[in-house]
Structure 1
Amino acid sequence: MFSLVAIAIVLAPSPIVDAVQYEPNWDSLDSRPLPSWYDEGKIGIFIHWGVFSVPSFSSEWFWYHWQGAKQWPSVIEFMKKNYPPNWTYADFAEQFDPPTGIYDPHHWADIFNASGARYVVQVTKHHEGFTSWPSNYSFNWNAQDVGPHRDLVGDLAVAVRRYPNLRYGIYHSLFEWFNPVYLEDKKNKYKTQNFVFNKSLPELYELVNTYKPDVIWSDGCPGKDTYWNSTHFLAWLYNESPVKDTVVTNDRWGRNVVCKHGGFLTCTDQFNPGTLQKRKFENAMKLDYSSWGYRRDMKLSDVIPIQNLLRKIATTISCNGNILINVGPTKDGTIAPIFEERLRQMGSWLQVNGEAVYKSRPWTFQNDTVTPGVWYTQRTNETTTSNKNVYAFVFDWPAVTLVLGSPVPSSTTQVTLLGYKRQFKFSQRSGGGMIINIPAIPYKKIPCDWLWVFKITNPQN
Structure 2
Amino acid sequence: MAALALLSAAAALGPGLASPRYRPDWASLDARPLPAWFDRAKVGVFVHWGVFSVPAWGSEWFWWHWQGQHDAAYERFVRRRFPPGTTYAEFAPRFTAHDFQPREWARLFQRAGARYVVLTTKHHEGFTNWGSPVSWNWNSVDTGPHRDLVGELGEALRESNLRYGLYHSLMEWFNPLYLADKQNDFKTQSFVLKKTMPELYDLVLKYKPDLIWSDGDWEAPDSYWNSTSFLAWLYNDSPVKDTVVVNDRWGRGCSCRHGGFYNCADKYRPGTLPEHKWEMCSSLDRLSWGYRSNMSLPEVMDEMSMIEELVQTVSLGGNYLLNVGPTKEGVIVPIFQERLLALGRWLDTNGEAIYESQPWRVQMENTTDTVWYTSKGPVVFAIFLLWPRDSVLHLSSPIPSPGTQVTLLGFAGTLEWQKQPGKGMLITLPYMLPSPVPPQSGWVVKLEGVK
Task: Tell me which interval the TM-score lies in, with the shorter structure as reference length.
Answer: over 0.9
2:344 matched to which residue of 1? 347
Provide structure 1 residue ranges, at least 5 long, that are not aligned to the other structure. Answer: 1-15, 381-387
Letter matched to residue 393 of structure 1? I
1:223 positional shift = 0.5
Deviations 1:233-283 (A, max 9, x none): 001001110011110000000011111011100011001222101001110
> 2:167 matched to 1:162?
no
> 2:418 matched to 1:427?
yes
Out of 247, 257, 270, the position equivalent to 2:267 is 270
1:442 matched to which residue of 2? 433
> 2:448 matched to 1:457?
yes
Out of 195, 201, 204, the position equivalent to 2:197 is 201
Q: Conserved in 2, the CA contact under 8 Å of 1:413 and 1:458?
A: yes
Out of 182, 188, 210, the position equivalent to 2:184 is 188
Equivalents in 1 of 2:207, 2:374: separation in Å? 34
Deviations 1:160-217 (A, max 9, x none): 11112x1111000000000010011111111111111110011000000000000100
Equivalents in 1 of 2:164, 2:434: separation in Å? 37
Equivalents in 1 of 2:144, 2:256: separation in Å? 36
> Against the structure 1 CA distance between its residues 317 and 136, is the aligned structure 2 distance closer, same or farther, given a 3 Å change threshold?
same
Q: TM-score, normalised by structure 2?
A: 0.94
> 2:335 matched to 1:338?
yes
Equivalents in 2 of 1:148, 1:402: separation in Å? 54
2:88 matched to which residue of 1? 89
Q: Conserved in 2, the CA contact under 8 Å of 1:318 and 1:362?
A: yes
Q: Conserved in 2, the CA contact under 8 Å of 1:38 and 1:248?
A: yes
Equivalents in 1 of 2:393, 2:324: separation in Å? 36
1:18 positional shift = 3.4
Equivalents in 2 of 1:178, 1:438: separation in Å? 59
Q: Conserved in 2, the CA contact under 8 Å of 1:370 and 1:406?
A: no
1:441 positional shift = 3.8
Q: Secondary structure at the match of 1:411?
A: strand
Matches within 5 A, 1:29-178: 29-68=29-68, 70-99=69-98, 102-164=99-161, 166-178=162-174
Q: TM-score, normalised by structure 1?
A: 0.92
> 2:207 matched to 1:211?
yes
2:401 matched to which residue of 1? 410
Letter matched to residue 36 of structure 1? A
> Against the structure 1 CA distance between its residues 118 and 443, is the aligned structure 2 distance closer, same or farther, given a 3 Å change threshold?
farther
> 2:391 matched to 1:392?
no
Aligned residue pair count: 434
Equivalents in 2 of 1:373, 1:459: separation in Å? 20
1:433 positional shift = 1.4
Deviations 1:280-312 (A, max 9, x none): 111010000000000000001111001110010
1:144 positional shift = 0.8
Q: Conserved in 2, the CA contact under 8 Å of 1:42 and 1:322?
A: yes
1:10 matched to which residue of 2? none
Equivalents in 1 of 2:355, 2:429: separation in Å? 27
1:97 positional shift = 1.1
1:444 positional shift = 6.6
1:13 matched to which residue of 2? none
Letter matched to residue 268 of structure 2? F
Runs of 4+ displaced beyond 4 Å: none
Q: Conserved in 2, the CA contact under 8 Å of 1:348 and 1:448?
A: no
1:18 matched to which residue of 2? 18
Deviations 1:351-410 (A, max 9, x none): 111100000000111100223310110012xxxxxxx11111101101222111111112
- The percentage of counterpart residues that share the same residue type is 53
Letter matched to residue 215 of structure 1? L
Letter matched to residue 18 of structure 1? A
Letter matched to residue 199 of structure 1? K
Equivalents in 2 of 1:455, 1:264: separation in Å? 29
Q: Secondary structure at the match of 1:326?
A: strand
Equivalents in 2 of 1:237, 1:411: separation in Å? 52
Q: Secondary structure at the match of 1:107?
A: helix
Deviations 1:62-120 (A, max 9, x none): 0001000x232211110111111210000000111122xx2211111110011010000
Provide structure 2 residue ranges, at least 5 long, that are not aligned to the other structure. Answer: 1-15
Q: Secondary structure at the match of 1:412?
A: strand
Deviations 1:14-43 (A, max 9, x none): xx9632111111111111111111100101
